[in-house]
Structure 1
Amino acid sequence: MEGCTGRLLVATPGLRDGSFRRSVVLVLEHTPDGALGVVLDRPLDVDAWAVLPSWQPHLSAPGHLFDGGPVARDSVLGLADVAGDAAPPGVQTIEPRLGVVDLDAPPELVVAGVQGLRLFVGYAGWSPGQLDAEVGAGGWFVVDHEPGDAFSADPRGLWRRVLRRQPGDLALLSTAPDDVSMN
């Protein structure tokens, strides 16, 4: 099933893992060697001033760091919404409008060519075949992303919004209660 790069993983209502319960993950890389992504809907109540102060003024609303996932919690990954056809220096595109930011680059070089910027503490990672197995077991829905998903001003509501726009029965899951036993 490789080929999820640039797509969203939407946790199914039955996925109970605390790191991913009701989450939306943007897959940044999916190869035979494994997969890597960032959780888009978990803003932290922490500004970037403490870890990367030069990037703080350039972050998209809500202007906080995000919990990118349970792996490498001592690292920060930057994601950019590329403004034009070409990525600015310091941004490696993963698809036409999305790119990973080299946080060692001067922010002024990067922000001139982006219209959105988020910083994620940690990331979500899967070993070879693990993500495919989780999708096959019904843990994730794999759906296309829309341009505003990764930089939503209301990230906490992303899970419901992404499901709601899907065709058929998948849209109905957006109304599932947090505790499915209450249904």
Structure 2
Amino acid sequence: MPDPPTVTLAAGQLLVATAALVDPNFERSVVLLLDHDEDGSLGVLLNRPSPVPVRDILPDWHELADEPSVLFHGGPVATDSALAVAVMTTGEEDDEAPVGFRRLFGRTGIVDLDTPTELVVPVVSRLRIFAGYAGWGTGQLEAEVEEGSWYVVPSLPADAFAGDPHGLWARVLRRQPGELAWVSTRPVDPTLN
């Protein structure tokens, strides 16, 4: 397994699970880091779609949700709550965010699901809804990265809205330079290799 490079964690990066990560909640997961500061970190798993259609839980939002239009398991924390990650249609980073939208990085942010959808439709181009999230306390994520549990790589705007979320782990690694691209070919069960 390649040594993880020294990284500075920040919102907008991807955490890609390594073989060293033993928590089954995160096996072969890709996490979009939404927030990282001195108090801890928060992200959502991008490649864990549930079988539950958005229309069954949040009927007003199902037409805005990217395909597959299902709830995604965002992580093991607060699984009874929903979080919507979205991309604004236009705007620069220093523009004021529209009502119901909290910018996190670039044009990506979180939509308050209590906001009337008619206010969101004109300003959001992509949207995905997650049940729960992944969270780390102060220094916890840094320690996991240092021990080799996560590769930290740049995200692409489309990663959070992948039409084929199950193949995201391999696709993200395949586009990385050097040995990480090779890691993408690792079978789920290395004893079968």
Q: The TM-score by the shorter chain falls in which range?
A: over 0.9
Structure 2 residue 106 is matched with structure 1 residue 100: no
TM-score (norm 1): 0.95
Equivalents in 2 of 1:91, 1:6: separation in Å?
Answer: 16
Counting only pairs closer than 5 Å after superposition, residues 1-183 of structure 1 correspond to structure 2 as 3-85=9-91, 86=95, 87-183=97-193
Displacement of 1:147 after TM fit? 1.0
Displacement after TM superposition at 1:61 (Å):
0.4
Structure 1 portions without partners, runs of 5+:
none
Residues 131-155 of structure 1: per-residue CA shift (max 9 Å, x gap)? 0000000000000000110011111
Count the aligned residue pairs.
183
For the aligned residues, what is the CA RMSD? 1.3
- Residue by residue over 1:12-37, the C-alpha shift from the partner in whole angstroms, topping out at 9 and shown as x without a partner, is 13323111000000011111111100
Amino acid at match of 2:85: L
Distance 1:82 1:157 in 2: 25
Equivalent pairs: percent with the same residue?
A: 53
Q: CA deviation at 1:2?
A: 5.6
Q: Runs of 5+ in structure 2 lacking a partner?
A: 1-6
Give distance in 2, aligned partners of 1:3 and 1:154.
Answer: 26
- Structure 1 range deviating more: 32-41 or 12-21: 12-21
Query: Partners in 1 of 2:136 and 2:35 — Cα distance?
Result: 10
SS class of match (1:161): helix
- Could you say what secondary structure the match of 2:26 adopts? coil
1:27-72, CA deviations, whole angstroms, 9 ceiling, x for partnerless residues? Answer: 1111111110000011111012232211112110011000000000
Give the Cα–Cα distance (whole angstroms) in 1 for the partners of residues 123 and 166 of structure 2.
Answer: 27
User: Following the alignment from structure 2 to structure 1, what is the Cα–Cα distance between the partners of residues 87 and 19?
Assistant: 29
Distance apart, 1:88 and its partner CA? 3.2
- Give distance in 2, aligned partners of 1:172 and 1:97: 31
Per-residue CA deviation, residues 87-111 of structure 1 (Å, 9 max, x unaligned), is 4321111111211111110112112
- What is the alpha-carbon distance in structure 2 between the residues aligned to residue 93 and residue 135 of structure 1? 26
